[in-house]
């Protein structure tokens, strides 16, 4: 296996992108990544694109071919593959691109993610996202994703004593970070009262506990590490990769407050990277709901079960804290275009390790990403370091 580095990154601004089409979003992100890597499209060997549900959101399937075509690469017959793993589609597209380079099958590979979610109404969006759960056991009973994560939150709060205020502090912290991120959907700090007094969605989760509906795209370019400096003075090495699966339905799990796939994927990434938790300078975790960030911190091994709420309340997960979580603003404030989120996490990690995360910069040499599909049926983790 060859060592692999990220040589270029690009990301659109996240939000309700009424002026941009699905096609324009991924072309914009890809062009930014190519420019950042100082390469042309003719140098690309392969493309992987994460997308959850363009068929429902914009009535377009055959996404790999569409992206190759509108990126101007179809005449070169570049292989382009769509990758789907619900909200972990982006993270998994990155893992597939990493594997292609590491194996020697390809040299210059694009990993991208895109989703255009606002072209349909809220009812349709809710139904599309529910398809990432078990439709025949959970969806048929009318359970939505806020409802599923509300079950996790209720169980966790009962067993570990997490307070409503500690849970709300996750959102406050992430909006504080998002206010420093020019690509974030929400760029305004909020207060604890804002979260606690927002509309109840699924008890105990309120509106500001939930990630928003978002349009956006991100792209990164990978190359063999031994060629990386042909393109950039600041290559970022992929140190470790881990992927795991679990049951798609919550009722089949022995403990719904512990995401077993996060534990397994994290452990695999750490083993491959040969680093310890104390070496990690920050983590971009999958905070689709505030309770998801609490569980992720613990399941990745950064503290014991039941301690993440206190760490958040004490500011230990803020920028400048012991283990900064989601300096980008996370899914909560940066936004969550589901197919693009995993790539956006890589984009943020590369910017941080290059020292280019103005206003939210963390001084470290190693960062980590954590991308979740559904309620934890698929989890992908990556660890990155300065080359």
Catalytic residue (one of 175, 336, 370, 382)? 336
Condensed to tens digits (0 to 9), the pLDDT of residues 247-298 reads 999 999 999 999 999 999 999 999 999 999 999 999 999 999 999 999 999 9
Q: Find the domain containing 85 and state its range.
A: 4-121+214-236
The reported pLDDT for the residue numbered 380 is: 98
Q: Tell whether 100 and 167 lie within a shared domain.
A: no
Catalytic residue (one of 11, 87, 295, 303)? 87
Domain assignment present for 94: yes
Q: Tell whether 305 and 354 lie within a shared domain.
A: yes
Of residues 284, 278, 307, the one with CA closest to residue 295: 307
| Terminal-residue alpha carbon distance, the chain | 17
Condensed to tens digits (0 to 9), the pLDDT of residues 109-151 reads 999 999 999 999 999 999 999 999 999 999 999 999 999 999 9
Domain assignment present for 368: yes
- Whether 62 is catalytic is no
State the CB neighbour count (10 A cutoff) for residue 327.
28
The reported pLDDT for the residue numbered 162 is: 98
Q: Phi and psi (nearest 5°) for 201?
A: -105, -55
325 contacts 285 by C-beta, under 8 angstroms: yes
Task: Point out which residues pair with 222 in neighbouring strands.
Answer: 6, 109
Q: Tell whether 186 and 328 lie within a shared domain.
A: yes
- Whether 210 is catalytic is no
Helical axes 290-299 vs 260-273, angle rounded to 10°: 50
For the chain, give the percent of residues with pLDDT over 70: 100
Q: Tell whether 206 and 218 lie within a shared domain.
A: no
373 contacts 84 by C-beta, under 8 angstroms: no
Q: Among 201, 236, 271, which residue terminates a domain?
A: 236
The reported pLDDT for the residue numbered 294 is: 98
Counting the structural domains of the chain, the total is 2
Domain assignment present for 128: no
The reported pLDDT for the residue numbered 375 is: 98
90 contacts 372 by C-beta, under 8 angstroms: no
The reported pLDDT for the residue numbered 254 is: 96
Compute and round to an integer the Cα radius of gyration of the chain: 19
Q: Tell whether 73 and 200 lie within a shared domain.
A: no
Q: Tell whether 226 and 284 lie within a shared domain.
A: no
Domain assignment present for 353: yes
CATH number for the domain spanning 107: value is 3.40.47.10
224 contacts 98 by C-beta, under 8 angstroms: no
State the CB neighbour count (10 A cutoff) for residue 35.
12
Q: Tell whether 115 and 263 lie within a shared domain.
A: no
The reported pLDDT for the residue numbered 213 is: 97
Q: How would DSSP label each residue in 49-103?
A: EE-S-HHHHTS---HHHHHHHHTT-GGGT--EEEE-BTBTHHHHHHHHHHHHHHH
- Helix, strand or coil for residue 156? helix
Over residues 173-199, mean pLDDT: 98
Condensed to tens digits (0 to 9), the pLDDT of residues 346-375 reads 999 999 999 999 999 999 999 999 999 999
Q: How would DSSP label each residue in 33-51?
A: HHHHHT--GGG--EEEEE-
The reported pLDDT for the residue numbered 307 is: 98
Return mean pLDDT, the chain: 97
The reported pLDDT for the residue numbered 82 is: 98
Our CA dihedral for 143, 144, 145, 149, rounded to 10 degrees, sits at: -50
Q: Tell whether 105 and 159 lie within a shared domain.
A: no
Domain assignment present for 127: no
Task: Point out which residues pair with 371 in neighbouring strands.
Answer: 380
Q: Tell whether 339 and 257 lie within a shared domain.
A: yes
Domain assignment present for 347: yes
Over residues 73-102, mean pLDDT: 97
Q: Tell whether 78 and 164 lie within a shared domain.
A: no
Q: Tell whether 218 and 208 lie within a shared domain.
A: no
Q: Tell whether 202 and 165 lie within a shared domain.
A: yes
Condensed to tens digits (0 to 9), the pLDDT of residues 297-348 reads 999 999 999 999 999 999 999 999 999 999 999 999 999 999 999 999 999 9
Q: 155-162 — which CB contacts under 8 Å span 24+ positions?
A: 155/256, 155/257, 156/257, 156/291, 156/294, 156/295, 157/204, 159/257, 159/306, 160/257, 160/305, 160/306, 160/309, 161/306, 162/294, 162/306, 162/309
pTM of the model: 0.98
């Amino acid at each position: 296996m060859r060592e692999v580095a990220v040589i270029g990154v690009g990301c659109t601004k996240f939000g309700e992108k009424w002026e941009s089409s699905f096609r324009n979003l991924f072309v914009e992100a890809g062009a930014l990544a190519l420019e950042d890597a100082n390469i042309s499209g003719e140098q690309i060997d392969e493309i992987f694109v994460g997308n959850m549900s363009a068929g429902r959101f914009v009535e377009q399937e055959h996404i790999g071919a569409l992206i190759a075509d509108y990126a101007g690469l179809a005449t070169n017959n570049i292989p382009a593959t769509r990758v789907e793993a619900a909200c972990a589609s982006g993270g998994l597209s990155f893992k597939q691109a990493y594997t292609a380079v590491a194996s020697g099958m390809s040299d210059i590979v694009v990993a991208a993610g895109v989703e255009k979610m606002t072209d349909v109404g809220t009812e349709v969006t809710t139904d599309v996202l529910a398809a990432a759960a078990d439709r025949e056991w959970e969806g048929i009973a009318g359970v939505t994703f806020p409802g599923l994560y509300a079950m996790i939150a209720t169980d966790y709060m009962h067993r570990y004593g997490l307070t409503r205020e500690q849970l709300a502090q996750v959102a406050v912290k992430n909006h504080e970070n998002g206010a420093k991120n020019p690509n974030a959907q929400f760029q305004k700090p909020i207060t604890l009262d804002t979260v606690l007094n927002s509309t109840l969605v699924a008890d105990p989760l309120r509106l500001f506990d939930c990630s928003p509906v978002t349009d956006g795209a991100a792209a990164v370019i990978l190359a063999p590490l031994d060629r990386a400096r042909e393109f950039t003075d600041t290559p970022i090495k992929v140190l470790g990769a881990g992927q795991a699966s679990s049951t798609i339905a919550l009722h089949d799990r022995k403990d719904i407050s512990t995401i077993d796939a996060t534990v397994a994927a994290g452990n695999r990434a750490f083993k491959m990277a040969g680093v310890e938790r104390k070496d990690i300078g920050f983590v971009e975790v999958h905070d689709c709901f505030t309770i998801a960030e609490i569980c992720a911190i613990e399941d990745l091994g950064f503290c014991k079960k039941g301690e993440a709420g206190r760490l958040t309340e004490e500011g230990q997960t803020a920028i400048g804290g012991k283990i900064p979580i989601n300096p980008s603003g996370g899914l909560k404030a940066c936004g969550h275009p589901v197919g693009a989120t995993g790539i956006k996490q890589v984009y943020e990690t590369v910017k941080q390790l290059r020292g280019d995360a103005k206003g939210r910069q963390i001084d470290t040499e190693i960062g980590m990403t954590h991308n979740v599909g559904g309620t934890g049926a698929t989890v992908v983790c990556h660890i990155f370091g300065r080359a």
